[in-house]
Structure 1
Amino acid sequence: MAEKPVLFSDDYKIAFDPETYLSTYYNDPSPNPVDGDMMTFGLTQFHEAFASGNIKGRQLLDFGTGPTIHSIISSSQHCESILLAEFSLKNRDTLKQWHNGELKHSFAKFIDCVLKLERKEDSVSNREASMREKVSGIIPCDIRNENPFAPCFIPAADIITSSLCMESVALSIPEYESYAARLASVLRPGGHLVLFGCVGGTFYTVGSSRFSSFGMTSSELQAAWTKAGLEIVTWKEGRRPNPEQKEITDIDGFFTLVAKKPKA
């Protein structure tokens, strides 16, 4: 049987199905051989980054949000306003459905997971309402462009979060470095980046479609953000469970990075 062709950035406009993506990767954050361990790692590390109390500010930018809100569950409690920036129109429509309370897919288990990590006596519905209230906009973006947010104007962000995005766009190390510098330029001096991504690999699947995931080593990834002018505060890495099962993805592992932009 011939191998499925790998799809790239512009293919997201047609081939990427948000509903299938959510049902595949965002049903339950409990560890399992396919995706749960990775998502539990991401949720835990986002929680730990913000629980430190060192990352806070007025404006948070979540870059490459996709059709999911897992990256703002923890961060929403440490900012006043959230801007969601996403390339795909279908994903932006999905985010708008969530924002309006109309999305059929539920993130309740993910929110509950974070609340348990925080040990807070809060309800899932209250946290989700708080998150929705802080979202000030859902805007298009394309990191391949010199101005990734054109025609929108966005102010410098106090915090940038991004999850499983950069490796879906870059096709080489120089490209990744260029995109990292572009994103870092939106961060105000003294601000923080909290990034969740993949180590190694070449693809991940959504339904019958196989999308590019540009794999870099840990040292290459850290070097890219250092070159972008950020100081790495923490780097956490996890290995993918059951790496021999490569039907869904062939990534080696995953990471979170917390970095700070030096003050001038």
Structure 2
Amino acid sequence: MRKICVVLLVVLFITGCSIQHESFKEDPQVEDSTIESQDNTNETDSSAIFPKVMFLKGNDIIRFFPDDKSDSIKEIKNTYVTVYNVINNAEREEWAIVEYIDEVNQKHHGYVMSERLSDRPNIPQYVCNQEAISDIAIGDGLEKAIIQYGDDYEVYKSEFGINYAFNKKNRDVITQIDPMSFTVKAIIVNSSGYKTKENFQVGHNAIKVIESYKSKYEMNTDQQLFNDRPESTFDIGDGYVIEFNYEPKELGEESIITSISLYNITDGDW
């Protein structure tokens, strides 16, 4: 039974579609009313953009099926969840397909009733529009980062927040998410294809990058600004920096950028 539930959930997660309940009639434990047939399902509002981060207030349960009598997956309380789609069940109740990440970094996928979710304002504690990585700036919402960087990611928590590693095999881009607002608080890029506002990326000539940023921002020459940061760190204002690492370490014509970081210098290690 549990295996069937998981398969159903994966299908719904990928397609965002409802499934005809007739396909489950062979299992006597599944009631016909669990999921509404395709003929009767109301279509999701085409103006809705998914994924979308929403807030669940109070106590609730993530369930296997869109039904209050369905088995429990995880109890949750006063937390953000990522909504991937909404469907209507046979009783025309609207349920959201959600992802929740618990305190030990385990993902839980299932259903909660849409009426229990709200668009709680994501008021970022960290905001910096001076720089961006592929149009994602500090203070942008998590859903915007997922849309921009893709849904191939893994999630892990640290003492500084929740980290989303995109292109999880190589961790091309890692965004640190503020758990209070689910907005971006830091970004690190380890692969080419993700450009700064100045149109630079990993793999570019380090001297050209550094000279360009040196003409625009104050550079950490001889660690005069930040003792524990490389010289190729630039103060972009209000406590925020953009940092470039390169190889070989001895800066020369052969040096290329190997990573780019955008973060708040006062917010601990990154």
If the TM-score is normalised by the length of the shorter chain, which range does it land in?
Answer: under 0.3
Output the TM-score relative to the length of structure 2.
Answer: 0.24
Compare the two structures and name the one with the higher helix fraction: 1
**Higher strand proportion:** 2
Higher Rg of the two aligned structures: 2
